[in-house]
């Protein structure tokens, strides 16, 4: 059975203090913080932490980040790897360190992992929940875990 996990990242400034979060439901979630980061890094870290904390189940990652979802839906990673970690404009891919971690957890994984996009701040209950967790982590610079 595929487990649906919502993820989100938050940043106060950009760069600035940031937070990330993932949640299976209101009883199973985690969040964390970084003192100086970007929103995109927090979006990526939310997915990485969700995959690490849920290592066995087939997963559907639900994110409001086009940056994350389109990379997999539109296979941006194929071109990045073919071009030696250069984007379509020939510039170095931003956040390569986190993308490498994420690709190691997804592209080489024997389990099924899919990505879905949800519009942020649209009333989706779980997206609102992970947004709240990530924003709280960014603001207080401390995460929470309830696994």
Please tell me the distance from the alpha carbon of residue 97 to that of residue 102, in angstroms, as a whole number. 9
Please tell me the distance from the alpha carbon of residue 11 to that of residue 15, in angstroms, as a whole number. 7
Output the pLDDT for position 147: 84
Output the pLDDT for position 31: 98
Output the pLDDT for position 46: 98
Number of domains in the chain: 1
Residue 131 maps to which CATH number? 3.30.420.10
Q: What is the mean pLDDT of each run of 10 residues along the chain (147 residues)?
A: 97 95 97 97 98 94 97 96 96 98 93 95 94 97 91
Output the pLDDT for position 122: 87
Output the pLDDT for position 104: 95
Strand partners, 29: 23, 146
Output the pLDDT for position 125: 96
Please tell me the distance from the alpha carbon of residue 11 to that of residue 139, in angstroms, as a whole number. 9
Q: pTM for the whole thing?
A: 0.96
Q: Which two tokens stand for residue 41?
A: 């890094």
Q: Residue 129: give the domain boundaries.
A: 3-146
Residue 9, classed as helix, strand or coil, is strand
């Amino acid at each position: 059975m595929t487990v649906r996990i919502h993820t989100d990242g938050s940043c106060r400034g950009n760069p600035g203090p940031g937070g990330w979060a993932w949640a299976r439901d209101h009883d199973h979630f985690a969040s964390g913080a970084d003192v100086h980061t970007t929103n995109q890094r927090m979006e990526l870290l939310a997915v990485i932490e969700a995959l690490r904390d849920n290592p066995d189940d087939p997963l559907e990652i639900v994110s409001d980040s086009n940056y994350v979802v389109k990379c997999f839906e539109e296979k941006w990673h194929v071109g990045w790897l073919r071009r030696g970690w250069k984007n379509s404009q020939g510039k170095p891919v931003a956040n390569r360190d986190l993308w490498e971690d994420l690709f190691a957890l997804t592209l080489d994984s024997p389990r099924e992992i899919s990505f879905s996009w949800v519009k942020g701040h649209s009333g989706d209950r779980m997206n609102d929940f992970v947004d709240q967790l990530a924003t709280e982590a960014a603001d207080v610079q401390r995460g929470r875990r309830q696994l």
